[in-house]
Amino acid sequence: MNQKTLHIAIATTGLTGILNASIALALRLQKEGHRITYMCPQDVRKTVVTHGLDYVQLPSVNFYFKLEEEGLKKRFWYGLKNYEKGKKVLKIGQFKGALTDIKADKLLIDTELHELIFCAIQLKIPVTPITQFFPNLIRPKVPPISSTSLPGKGLWGTRIGILLSWLHSKYYTRKRILIDILKKRDGRRQTLNRYAAEVGIKGGWLEQTYFPPVFEYKGLNVLTLNLEQLDFPNSSLPNFYYTGPMVNEDRNNIHPSESIDAINKILAQKKDKKLIYCSVSSMHEADIAFLKKVVKAFEASPQWLLVLSLGGKSEASDFENIPKNVHLFKWVPQIKVLKNADVSLCHGGVHTINECIHFSVPMLIYSGGKFDQNGCTARVVYHGLGIAGNKKRDSPTKIKNKIAELIQNKRYANSMEQMRESYLTSRKKAITPIV
pLDDT at 9: 98
Q: Specify the pLDDT at position 28.
A: 96
133 Cα distance to chain centroid: 6
**Which residue from 25, 56, 23, 24 is spatially nearest to 42, judged by alpha carbons?**
56
User: ∠ at Cα 411 (409, 413), nearest 5°?
Assistant: 90
DSSP line for 372-404: THHHHHHHHHHTTSEEE--TTT--HHHHHHHHH
Q: Which residues, 6 or more positions from 259, have their beta carbon under 8 angstroms from its beta carbon?
A: 329, 330, 331, 332, 333
pLDDT at 72: 54
What confidence score (pLDDT) does residue 280 get? 82
Per-residue pLDDT of the chain (435 residues; tens, 9 = 90+): 357 899 999 999 999 899 999 999 999 999 999 999 999 999 999 999 999 999 999 999 998 777 665 555 554 456 677 888 889 999 999 999 999 999 999 999 999 999 999 999 999 999 999 999 999 999 999 999 999 999 999 999 999 999 999 999 999 999 999 998 888 788 899 899 999 999 999 878 999 998 887 999 999 999 999 999 999 999 989 999 999 999 998 876 666 666 888 999 999 988 889 999 999 866 556 788 999 999 999 998 999 999 999 876 677 888 888 999 999 998 889 999 999 999 999 999 999 999 999 999 999 999 988 889 999 999 999 999 999 999 999 999 999 999 999 999 999 999 999 999 999 999 999 999 999
pLDDT at 257: 67
d(CA 359, CA 16): 20
pTM of structure: 0.93
For 397-432, give the DSSP string. Answer: HHHHHHHHHHHH-HHHHHHHHHHHHHHHHHHTS-SG
152 torsion bin: left (phi>0), alpha (psi -120 to 50), beta (else): left
pLDDT score of 105: 97
* The predicted structure's pLDDT at residue 202: 85
**For position 420, what pLDDT does the model report?**
97
